[in-house]
Each structure stands twice: as structure tokens, then as C-alpha cells.
């Protein structure tokens, strides 16, 4: 390799290293904000669950449509939460592989699945897999406003309430610790399992306040349970966003380390090539002088 080519490669890799280092620092800052957003939203969802449990106890004669469990599961809805941008390691691929496996299981069991994709990176691979994508949205942004993906979320909720879907699942990356994550697929509809998780804590509470319903318990229960389902979906999107920043930070950190190693090897090669070139020139000079 010519010495000029080595210099050009060193400059190119150094420029790439500056970009990966900057992206690593940006992801580190965004990760802290995303993790804080995901943690601070959890008490809100827990509080809604406690209120929903209380409303169900106060109105035992009324069963919300969001609680109705079908006798036969024929059609399911899957909300897949992906990212808008890449460069975040195996975050999307691991989740999409899990979704593809679950879709194959449902197809083998004779069930039809409708897929709703949140994020730009999930639609392409699922379409190549043959998934039936009925709605999708992108451009979530860093602030994660619920209005940005509310239209796509209403599709499975309306389908479940209309009886077109028997179950609804959400697939996302769960932030298991500060620096680790795992792909998960949770069932959010019907709501029995989610509310049952907080039932013991609700019974342990000593203070009970009497509620006054306006205009009647039925619309209050339905509206609150619908807000709770929306909170579950928003929580999944917030968790996935925190995992995205965490994965991108590690990916860019690895890319920066690889760039440092490549630069170090290229500089070593540059020194060897330059030394060999100088030695060749000296030999030519000595040989020419001896010939004269």
C-alpha cells in the first residue's frame, strides 16, 4: 500500500471517529433523560391501576368490554415498538426476531394477526416476513408526545372493542437495569392480568375514600380503563426509547474503540512503509554512487 493511501485512510477513520464519539456523548445525555422519563411515568400508571381496581370493586355488576375474555382466540393484534433511527446495535433485530417467532406460532395455531408498527425501523423487516401491517407511524422525536402515535394505537383498541380482535399484545424493549435491556411481548388486552398484579397491594391499603360518580359509574370506568391501556402503551414506548439510547451509546462506544484500533494499526503500517521507503531510497543512492 502506498504511503499516500495510508495517510488518506488515517484521515478518513479519524473523521469517522469524531462522529462516533460525538454520537456516543449525545446518546449518553439522552439516555439519562429517557431513563428518567420512563421511571417517573411508572407511578402514574400504577396509580391509574389502583383507581381502576377500586372502580371495579365498587361496580361488581358492570364488566367493562376491556375485561371481556373471548372463549376462542382467532384474531390477535400486535403493537411493535421500534426505533426511528438505526446505529443502535441489535436492539431492533432482537425484538423483531422475537415478533417473527410469535407470529409464526400464531399462524401455526390457526390464528390471524394484525400488526401495528410504531417507529420507522420495524415496518420493513416485518413486511419482508409477510406480516399483515394495518397501521404504522414514525417520527416519534425525543420528547415522546402521545399524540405522535395516538392514531396508530387507536386501531387495535377500536378493533378489540368492536370484537374484531380477541387479544392485543405489545412488543418492546424493557429496561431491566440502568445499562441492560431485554425484548418483551406482553398482553395488554383483555386487562385481567395487568390489574391482577396490583390487586394484592390494593387490598393491603388501609385508607378507602368513597367515590362520587358523575354521571354514572359505567362511563367513568370505561374512560379510566381506556386511559390505563394508553398509559401501558406509552410506558412501553418510553421504555423502548430509553433502551434505544442505551444501545446506541454502547454501539457508538464500540465503534469509537474500533476506530482507535484501526488508526493505531494504520499508523504502525505507515511507519513501517515509510521506513521501508527511506531504506529503498538510501540503497538506490548508495548503489548509484558506487556505480559512478
Residue 236 included in any domain:
yes
Residue 120 included in any domain:
yes
Output the nine-digit C-alpha cell for 52.
381502576
Residue 114 included in any domain:
yes
Residue 263 included in any domain:
no
Buried b (16+ CB within 10 A) or exposed e, 246-280: bbbbbbbbebbeebeebbeebeeebeeeeeeeeee
> 90-99, 129-138, 204-213, 244-253: which range is least confident on average?
204-213
Q: Taking a C-beta distance cutoff of 8 angstroms, is the pair 240, 172 a contact?
A: yes
Q: What pLDDT, on a 0 to 100 scale, did the predictor assign at position 196?
A: 59
Quick one: what percent of the chain has pLDDT higher than 70? 90
Q: What pLDDT, on a 0 to 100 scale, did the predictor assign at position 102?
A: 94
Residue 142 included in any domain:
yes
Grid look-up 382466540 returns: 73
Q: Please give the average per-residue pLDDT across 34-51, as a whole number.
A: 79
* pLDDT of 292 over the 70 cut: no
Q: Taking a C-beta distance cutoff of 8 angstroms, is the pair 118, 209 a contact?
A: no
Q: Please give the average per-residue pLDDT across 61-70, as a whole number.
A: 80
Residues 6+ apart with CB under 8 A from 10: 263, 266, 267, 270
> 39-53, 70-84, 208-222, 255-269: which range is least confident on average?
208-222
Residue 281 included in any domain:
no
- Find the domain containing 216 and state its range: 26-249
* pLDDT of 141 over the 70 cut: no
Residues 6+ apart with CB under 8 A from 84: 119, 120, 121, 138, 139, 140
Per-residue pLDDT tens digits for 160-173: 988 899 999 999 99
Determine the distance from the C-alpha atom of residue 188 to the mean position of all C-alpha atoms in its chain, rounded to a whole number. Answer: 17
Per-residue pLDDT tens digits for 145-192: 777 777 888 888 889 988 899 999 999 998 877 677 899 999 988 887
> 70-74, 89-93, 173-177, 239-243: which range is least confident on average?
173-177
Grid look-up 417517573 returns: 40
Here the CATH number for the domain that contains residue 87 is 3.40.1380.10
Residue 21 included in any domain:
no
Grid look-up 471517529 returns: 17
* pLDDT of 140 over the 80 cut: no
Output the nine-digit C-alpha cell for 284.
538506490
* pLDDT of 106 over the 90 cut: yes
Q: State the pLDDT confidence band at 33, using cuts at 50, 70 and 90.
A: confident
Based on the structure, what is the number of domains in the chain? 1
Per-residue pLDDT tens digits for 107-124: 999 999 999 999 888 889
Q: Where are the alpha helices (DSSP H) in the chain?
A: 3-58, 91-108, 123-129, 150-161, 192-197, 199-204, 217-291
Top pLDDT among 213 and 178 is at 213
Pick from 140, 125, 247: nearest CA to 183: 247
Residue 273 included in any domain:
no
Q: Taking a C-beta distance cutoff of 8 angstroms, is the pair 146, 154 a contact?
A: no
Q: What pLDDT, on a 0 to 100 scale, did the predictor assign at position 206?
A: 42
Cα→Cα distances 92→215, 254, 278, Å: 45, 18, 51
Top pLDDT among 24 and 212 is at 24
Amino acid at each position: 500500500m502506498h504511503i499516500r493511501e495510508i495517510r488518506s485512510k488515517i484521515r478518513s477513520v479519524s473523521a469517522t471517529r469524531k462522529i462516533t464519539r460525538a454520537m456516543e456523548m449525545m446518546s449518553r445525555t439522552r439516555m439519562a433523560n429517557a431513563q428518567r422519563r420512563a421511571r417517573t411515568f411508572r407511578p402514574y400508571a400504577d396509580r391509574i391501576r389502583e383507581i381502576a381496581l377500586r372502580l371495579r370493586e365498587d361496580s361488581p355488576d358492570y364488566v367493562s368490554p376491556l375485561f371481556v375474555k373471548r372463549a376462542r382466540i382467532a384474531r390477535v393484534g400486535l403493537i411493535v415498538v421500534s426505533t426511528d433511527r438505526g446505529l443502535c446495535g441489535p436492539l431492533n433485530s432482537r425484538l423483531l426476531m422475537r415478533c417473527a417467532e410469535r407470529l409464526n406460532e400464531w399462524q401455526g395455531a390457526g390464528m390471524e394477526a394484525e400488526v401495528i408498527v410504531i417507529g420507522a425501523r420495524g415496518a420493513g423487516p416485518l413486511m419482508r416476513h409477510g406480516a399483515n401491517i394495518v397501521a404504522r407511524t414514525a417520527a416519534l422525536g425525543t420528547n415522546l408526545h402521545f399524540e405522535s402515535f395516538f392514531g396508530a394505537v387507536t386501531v387495535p383498541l377500536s378493533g378489540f372493542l368492536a370484537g374484531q380482535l380477541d387479544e392485543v399484545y405489545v412488543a418492546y424493549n424493557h429496561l431491566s437495569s440502568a445499562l441492560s435491556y431485554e425484548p418483551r411481548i406482553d398482553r395488554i388486552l383483555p386487562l385481567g392480568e395487568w390489574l391482577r398484579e396490583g390487586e394484592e397491594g390494593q387490598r393491603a391499603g388501609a385508607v378507602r375514600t368513597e367515590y362520587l360518580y358523575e354521571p354514572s359509574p359505567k362511563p367513568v370506568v370505561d374512560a379510566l380503563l381506556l386511559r390505563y391501556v394508553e398509559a401501558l402503551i406509552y410506558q412501553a414506548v418510553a421504555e423502548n426509547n430509553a433502551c434505544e439510547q442505551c444501545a446506541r451509546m454502547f454501539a457508538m462506544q464500540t465503534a469509537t474503540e474500533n476506530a482507535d484500533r484501526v488508526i493505531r494499526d494504520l499508523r504502525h503500517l505507515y511507519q513501517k512503509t515509510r521506513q521501508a521507503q527511506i531504506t529503498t531510497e538510501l540503497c538506490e543512492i548508495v548503489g548509484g554512487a558506487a556505480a559512478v
